[in-house]
Amino acid sequence: MAARCRRRAAGRWVRARAVGCPRTARRARPPTPARAGSRRPRVRRWVVAGSGRLPSSPATRVPSRCHGRARSDDGAGLGAPPGPAAGCCGTVTACRVSHLGLSSRPTGGGGAVVAWQRRVTRVGQLGLHLARGGPAGAPAIVALHGIGDDGECWRPVADDLAGDHDVVLLDARGHGRSDGPVAGYTTSDHVADVVGVVRALGLQRPLLLGHSMGAVTALALAALHPGLPGRIALEDPPPWWSRPSTPNEVELARTRSLQATILALKRRTHGELLEIQREAAPRWSDTALRRWADSTQRLSAHVPLGLEEQHRTNSGLQWPALLTHVRCPALLLHGDTDRGGALDAAAARALRGHVPHVEVAHLPGAGHTPRHEDPRGYLAAVRRFLATT
């Protein structure tokens, strides 16, 4: 009987209440050495008791994976309110990191398992959800998605990169599991959020890996905070540097059309979304389609309603002058405009005129999301960029 109890304690999960934390389920101790080699390691999920959602009050005990103390953010040039620094893995302007859960995915190379820790970081009044995976202390990557996506849409590319990098998949405000305010969806707002998260997590000069809206955020951040990112990689950003500083009616009409399209998609069922996107993006994997449909349903309706404000403020940022402040290495990845890409060769050359050290990687046959349409080419370009000094 005693032996059977010991086996159960070694292989099963027990409940325990951590100091100041919600009830969680966790393994009592690892399997004995005799059994460890005979069974494939089992990956468990850490779940907050009840609904699996973030508890109403933030946890006071931080996860074991902690990367230093937070620093206060003065929000230079971004209008972020000042505030005191918090404790370990704490916040910018009273920001806290709360542990949510643990999931796993195999990496693209070598078959290793990546444990993704899900957390919520409070920056100002907003709770921003993120997933973090990869070896602690490794070079950091912060992935910034486009409009309508969320951090989950970076997989399986993120699974591959997390084999040897500390990867953070951030849900932008109004997206995924992050809070969605009624207003405040300009590029400057997104930049302030990313600055807050990077400083709260104690990341040192991370690579900012952005797609579309996220790429614009990364580019603006590199110009406004040149000492924060170590590198930036931009996947098909809208070429604001080639557009007039005052939006014309044609561009505003295009923005309103996009707004109406997103709001219409919000009214579709999950199955209908899959059918629509499968027809629009035949090269996407079933997993990518499913994650896109999931993210579309989670998207706050406030996001599309804020697109016109975002367009007007992006036009007024004086991009040619702003981009002269980008100092870090930069990579621009783009596909073809006839496949839905936002960036053509002329716009890529124009960016190089403002940022002479930018590397350009054209992925023929890809459209607006090269990481889904040509994942091998995308990863090869990003890894070559990471390998350069």
Q: Which residue has the tokens 């007007």?
A: 312
pLDDT at 10: 39
Confidence of residue 105 (pLDDT cuts 50, 70, 90): low
Domain 81-387 has CATH 3.40.50.1820: yes
- Of the candidates 216, 239, 243, the one whose C-alpha atom is nearest the C-alpha of residue 326 is 216
- What is the structure's pLDDT at 244? 78
Residue 15 has pLDDT above 60, yes or no: no
Measured torsion, CA atoms of residues 293, 193, 166, 382, in degrees rounded to the nearest 10: 70
Q: How high is the pLDDT of residue 249? A: 82
Instruction: Give tens-digit pLDDT for 17-28.
Output: 333 343 333 344
Q: Using CA atoms, how far apart are residues 56 and 58, in angstroms rounded to an integer?
A: 7
Predicted confidence (pLDDT) per residue in 207-221, tens digit:
999 999 999 999 999
pLDDT value at 360 more than 50:
yes
Q: CB-based contacts of 365: which residues, under 8 Å, 6+ apart?
A: 335, 336, 339, 373, 374
Cα–Cα distance for residue pair 64/10, rounded to 1 Å? 21
Mean pLDDT of 164-174: 98
| DSSP output for 208-227 | EEEETHHHHHHHHHHHHSTT
Measured distance CA(274)–CA(291) in Å, rounded: 10
In which element (H, E) is residue 100 found? strand 97-106
353, 252 contact by CB (below 8 A): no
- C-beta of residue 107 within 8 angstroms of C-beta of residue 163: yes
Q: What does the pLDDT read at residue 113?
A: 74
Residue 191, CA distances (Å) to 56, 171, 334, 364 in order: 27, 13, 22, 30
Give the rounded percent of residues in the chain with a pLDDT score beyond 70. 71
Report the 10 Å Cβ neighbour count for 243.
16
Calculate the CA 222 to chain-centre distance: 16
Q: What is the dihedral of CA 268, 276, 147, 337, to 10 degrees?
A: -160
Domain extents in the chain: 1-42, 81-387
pLDDT classification of 104: cutoffs 50, 70, 90: low
Q: Are 142 and 198 in contact (CB under 8 A)?
A: yes
The widest CA-to-CA distance across the chain, in whole angstroms, is 79
**Phi, then psi, of 230 in degrees rounded to 5:** -85, -35
Q: Is the dihedral of CA 105, 110, 111, 112 positive or negative?
A: negative
How far is the CA of 88 from the CAs of 18, 21, 61, 68, in angstroms?
17, 15, 9, 6
pLDDT category at 56 given cuts 50, 70, 90 is: very low
Give residue 389's pLDDT. 67
Q: In the structure, how many helices (H) and strands (E) does the chain have? A: 14, 11
Is it the case that residue 11 has pLDDT exceeding 50? Answer: no
Instruction: For residue 346, name the pLDDT band (cuts at 50, 70, 90).
Output: very high
pLDDT in tens, 147-157: 999 999 999 99
Nearest to 337 by CA among 366, 304, 377: 366
Q: What does pTM read for this prediction? A: 0.74
Can you give the pLDDT at residue 90?
32
Q: What is the C-alpha separation between 112 and 164, in angstroms, rounded?
A: 11
Model confidence at 109: pLDDT above 70: no
Average pLDDT over residues 37-48: 37
Q: What is the mean pLDDT of residues 63-86?
A: 34
- Residue 62 in contact with residue 97, Cβ under 8 Å? yes
